[in-house]
């Protein structure tokens, strides 16, 4: 019996991976998905069926927004039964936000959705685009005993595959642009692709749900020594505000001065959720470990455990977009919905 070809949908949103450098001016300009494939003829050797979907015009990742996340989820949802996996070509600057958002929007995901890109354009001699794209497509098509190897939203960059909602961009210069400090790599690519099976989510047997609603009435406040309480007050008094991601120090610590805590306490009493995540890229919030975080817990700030800021923000957008009651949102923020935080035993 002839083995059926694997089918992968390649979705090009924009980013450096789809740019070419003008030889005279050095300016980067976008070009077509077909041209990307022309520059990487190795793709034809897989024997896969690779179809393409291109955003017109291409989107610089700095211009990424929730409406496009919903559009991406919708494209994947509508094409879900036609393909074995999906590869999303995306600019690296906001890739971690998009990966986190898609992990929530695509409920009951049972197939790979791999986001990748590059630090150099595909037509540059030393470009990392070729390897990133080739390996992403191979992972998107990979199966074992008829089941996808990695049925998650992931980021693949520089020989490493990460869970998307655990990832952040940590380097603007090196090819190794991403990291995942609080969760192990799902796979590493060398001579062979080695999958870390114990850390990969199991494929869902339920029907996929592609959600179409995100609420952007969320703010992020990063603490710094000397932050003006009036600034805090103005943010918490923003019209329509529903939640604030509070980036604190260390394991969730913050000033204990009444002038700092009062605007937060007042906002919480009005029904605004305040979610505490650490500014550190590794480790977790442990409210109550030190006196400087005990006060936050007392006034009703929710501990975000080891969620990244990118994930905390998109999770709040998702939960409010789904119109969950306030009490349910507070509870769900402390639970792992898509593997985005470490369950507390």
- How far is CA 18 from each of CA 65, 107, 344, rounded to the nearest angstrom? 19, 29, 41
Q: Where are the beta strands (DSSP E) in the chain?
A: 7-12, 19-21, 28-30, 49-54, 85-89, 106-107, 113-116, 143-144, 147-148, 153-157, 160-163, 168-169, 178-179, 187-189, 193-195, 209-210, 218-222, 243-248, 273-278, 302-303
- What is the C-alpha end-to-end distance of the chain, expressed in Å? 49
Q: Where are the beta strands (DSSP E) in 2-152?
A: 7-12, 19-21, 28-30, 49-54, 85-89, 106-107, 113-116, 143-144, 147-148
Asked if residue 120 lies in contact with residue 127, where contact means CB atoms within 8 angstroms, the answer is yes
Measured distance CA(110)–CA(208) in Å, rounded? 8
* DSSP H or E segment with residue 309: helix 309-321
Catalytic residues: 16
Measured distance CA(257)–CA(292) in Å, rounded? 10
What Rg value do the Cα atoms of the chain yield, rounded?
Answer: 21
Beta pairing partners, 113: 86, 153
Nearest to 217 by CA among 266, 272, 269, 262: 272
């Amino acid at each position: 019996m002839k083995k059926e070809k694997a089918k992968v949908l390649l979705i090009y949103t924009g980013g450096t991976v789809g740019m070419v450098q003008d030889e005279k001016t050095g300016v980067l300009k976008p070009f077509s998905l077909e041209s990307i494939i022309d520059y990487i003829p190795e793709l034809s050797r897989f024997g896969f069926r690779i179809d393409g979907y291109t955003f017109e015009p291409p989107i610089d990742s700095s211009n990424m927004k929730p409406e496009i996340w919903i559009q991406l989820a919708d494209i994947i949802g509508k094409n879900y039964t036609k393909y074995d996996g999906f590869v999303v070509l995306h600019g690296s600057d906001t890739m971690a936000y998009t990966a986190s958002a898609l992990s929530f929007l695509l409920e009951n995901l049972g197939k790979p959705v791999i986001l990748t890109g590059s630090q150099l354009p595909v037509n540059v001699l030393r470009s990392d685009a070729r390897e990133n794209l080739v390996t992403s497509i191979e992972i998107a098509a990979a199966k074992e005993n008829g089941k996808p190897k990695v049925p998650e939203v992931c980021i693949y960059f520089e020989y490493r595959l990460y869970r998307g909602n655990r990832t952040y961009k940590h380097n603007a210069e090196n090819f190794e642009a991403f990291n995942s400090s609080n969760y192990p790599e799902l796979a590493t690519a060398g001579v062979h692709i080695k999958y870390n099976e114990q850390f990969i989510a199991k494929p869902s047997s339920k029907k996929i749900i592609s959600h179409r609603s995100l609420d952007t009435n969320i703010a992020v406040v990063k603490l710094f020594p000397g932050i003006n309480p009036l600034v805090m007050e103005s943010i918490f008094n923003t019209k329509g505000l529903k939640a604030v991601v509070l980036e604190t120090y260390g394991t969730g610590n913050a000033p204990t001065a009444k002038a700092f805590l009062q605007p937060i306490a007042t906002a919480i009493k009005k029904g605004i959720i305040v979610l505490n995540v650490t500014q550190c890229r590794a480790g977790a919030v442990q409210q109550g470990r030190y006196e400087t975080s005990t006060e936050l817990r007392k006034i009703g700030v929710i501990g975000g455990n080891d969620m990244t800021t990118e994930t905390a923000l998109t999770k709040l957008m998702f939960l409010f977009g789904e119109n969950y009651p306030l009490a349910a949102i507070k509870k769900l923020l402390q639970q792992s919905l898509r593997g985005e935080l470490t369950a507390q035993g």
